[in-house]
Chain A
Amino acid sequence: MSGAGLGYAPGPAAAPGANARFETWLWIAQRASAAVLALCVLVHLVTIIYAVHHGLSGAAILARTRGNVGALAFYTLYVLAIAVHAPIGLRALCQEWLGWRNSSLNWVIGALALALFVFGLRAGAAVFVG
């Protein structure tokens, strides 16, 4: 049966292999970082409510946070988890809603992850080191 007039040409079979492994590890990273973030966000929400209740001036906040090594460690983990989780999520959105599917997406997402990590660490240093 000729395909003339049907407008259907069978697309090339998606090549598995490297793509399969890459996407699988991205999925694992996304879910693992989600589990870490579940704890971090819970702590963060409680902290926000506490902070709003107990004083939101610069002095009040920094008095609580500066030199707090435990908090610094916690927020470093938080930033790392975000730097993994957010870019992977945005990648799916870009692929599906913007049709952005070529390799340039992965580079941009990678750069975003790095930027989030660096600026997150900077913010952590600003608030917790001193």
Chain B
Amino acid sequence: MNMLRVSVWRGGADGEYRNYEVPRQESQSVLDVVTYIQRNIDPTLSYRFACRVGMCGACAMTVNGVARWTCRTHVAKVAKDNAIQIAPLANLPVVKDLVTDMREFFDKWARARGRFAPGATRKDAFARVASDSPERVAANAGIECIGCGVCYASCDVVSWNPDYLGPAALNRAWTLVNDVRDTAQRERLAAVAGDAGCHACHTHLSCSERCPKNIVPTASIAGLKRAVALAAWRGEL
């Protein structure tokens, strides 16, 4: 039986890697490995998952140094010398083992005004938005985000600047900047400008490289930079 050597982070921020041996299977995912350890070797291992079919993003972890969805990561693709290393997502406080505290991630979403601000009531007619209008195309490119945190964990600017809102929050803000029905545009642009906002992005493209839904937050953030500059030029910021 071919055994996979697995190194897993145990503990909180102060912790250590512990080694386990897991039987290799065909088409085995990293989530399968973590589940095997928790069910057969060490029931005290804490981790998150939900759908296990690549839809919810709950199983995101750091595998061999890179943030990934573990249910969509084949062991065969990432194992080096029959070994893998599993750690919690970076840039987020570690609760226990492979579980991180995602509150700051979502707080920043709110701080970036990543929330739709409606202006119409039920008495108004439906808004008519052409699906091929430039704004709608731009918004659609970013709305599939499910808040898994992989981009946030991959971003070095988040590591270097604790206040930085991050790729996911800014991407969401961009989709709303392009929502013609939204009524909080001015506040939103003010929220995403600044060195905690879009101007801190240095186009590393790590977020876009790692997004499991192939969203390009870098492009969204570039859009925000342009929108904010235009607003400042017009004295509207």
Contacts and interface: CB of A to CB of B under 8 A. Distances in A.
B104 A8 contact: yes
A92 B199 CA distance: 10
Interface in B100-158: 101, 103-104, 107, 111, 157
B103 A8 contact: yes
B228 interface: yes
A24 B237 contact: yes
B196 interface: yes
B101 A8 contact: yes
Contacts of A7: 12-13, 93
A53 interface: no
A87 B194 CA distance: 17
A92 B163 contact: no
A87 to B, nearest CB: 15
A26 B237 CA distance: 14
A27 B107 contact: no
Contact of A19 (B111, B195, B202): B195
Interface string A11-50: 1011011011111111110000000000000000000000
A26 B193 contact: no
A68 interface: no
A94 B114 CA distance: 30
Contacts, number: 72
B190 A16 contact: yes
Interface size class of B (residues with CB under 8 A): 20 to 34
A95 B229 contact: no
B53 interface: no
Contacts of B233: 28
Chief secondary structure at chain A's binding surface: helix
B109 to A, nearest CB: 12
Contact of A28 (B190, B195, B229): B229
Nearest to A24: B232
**Which of B101, B103, B195: most chain A CB closer than 10 A?**
B195
B196 to A, nearest CB: 4
A55 interface: no
Given A7-B13, A14-B194, A16-B194, A24 B161 contact: no
A97 interface: yes
B76 interface: no
A68 to B, nearest CB: 36
B166 interface: no
B197 interface: yes
A22 B197 CA distance: 12
B95 interface: yes
Contacts of A23: 193-195, 197, 199
B93 A21 contact: no
Interface of A: 6-8, 10-11, 13-14, 16-17, 19-28, 92, 95-97
Interface of B: 12-13, 93, 95, 101, 103-104, 107, 111, 157, 160-163, 190-191, 193-197, 199, 202, 225, 228-229, 231-233, 237
Given A24-B194, A27-B229, A28-B229, 6 more contacts: A6-B95, A11-B162, A19-B194, A21-B237, A24-B229, A95-B161
